[in-house]
Amino acid sequence: MSTAAGHPIPAAALRGWQLAELRGGQLHFTATDGLRRALKDGFFYVKQPAGTELSAGDRFARSFYLRGGGAGDGPQDSYRGFHRWTSEQLGRHQGYFCRDADQTEQFFLEKTWWDRVYPAALARQAEHMRDFALAVQRAVLARLDLPRALWDEATGHSLTPHGTHTLTFNHFRPEVAARGLNIHKDSGWVTVLRSTERGLEVDRDGGWRPIDPIPGTFIVNFGCAMEILTRHTATPVAAVAHRVVRQPPSGGAKPDRFSYALFVDSTLDDRVCPGLFAYEPGGGLRLEAGFGTFLDDILDNTYREDTTGLY
């Protein structure tokens, strides 16, 4: 039995998924072959750092879509009323989105805007989650067949201030008769997910397997950029398809499902990096695709009603 933030984790709760802790810049797995299995699965649990404070993110996830928060728009509440922030003000792929092909309504915000748009406590939490996600990414890269001297170029400068670091919120509307969230793969490098309710499923061993939240942990998964970079190496990393199942109406018996995640992506500035690379030992890096176009395609395919976000 392991513990996460003081919570016991019975082996049965892991359902065969791997559990790690980040200590001293390294990922320590509870299983001796935990890293190998996690890279193949594309998903694993990681213990939250001691003192992790998530109340601001949880509050925002439960409130961002509600009316109110502005003059003439109901009660003043700095965690509500974010439907008013759209891509017209914030830029492409930023702000509030509501698509009836899925139960989710979402709020995307890249780090450039955190201090200007998020409540102060949430901006601080976003920074902590970003720093943790980058530490996890560095710990994974250190165990791969990739020279350290190539890390910045190979990962689209995602580990630097040039990287695209986005905190995204999901509210699931059980009254909407639609899928929870479409089958997709994440576009980038590492995703650190906060979830408190069941519903996330992963394509594993030819079927859909649940990966349920465990108190005191985040769920980590890898994106397509990591898979493309490592597919020809001795340590390939899987970006695995996943979805959220349809959430049934609860009749007000319990709160709606929410989740939020910190996404680490490559820079979108092609003056800094031209795009996604594959690495071949002995051959170096080979450009595979422009990241901006790749991101557009993934997002378009994810949220269209008739397709999936798979490349």
pTM: 0.91
- Fold (CATH) for 15-65+76-303: Jelly Rolls (2.60.120)
Beta pairing, strands 104-110 & 258-265: unpaired
* Domain residue limits, the chain: 15-65+76-303
Instruction: Note the pLDDT tens digit of each residue in 26-77.
Output: 999 999 999 999 999 999 999 999 999 999 999 999 999 998 755 555 556 8
Smallest CA-to-CA distance from 49 within 2, 3, 4 is with: 4
Asked if residue 309 has pLDDT above 60, the reply is no
- Name residues whose C-beta falls within 8 Å of residue 256's C-beta, 6 or more positions apart in sequence: 62, 171, 172, 173, 174, 247, 250
Asked if residue 160 has pLDDT above 70, the reply is yes
Q: How crowded is residue 265: how many other Cβ atoms within 10 Å of its Cβ?
A: 25
Angle, alpha carbons 256-258-260 (nearest 5°): 170
Q: DSSP characters for 130-163? A: HHHHHHHHHHHHTTSSS-GGGHHHHTTTTTSTTS
Instruction: Note the pLDDT tens digit of each residue in 259-296.
Output: 999 999 999 898 999 999 999 998 999 998 888 787 77
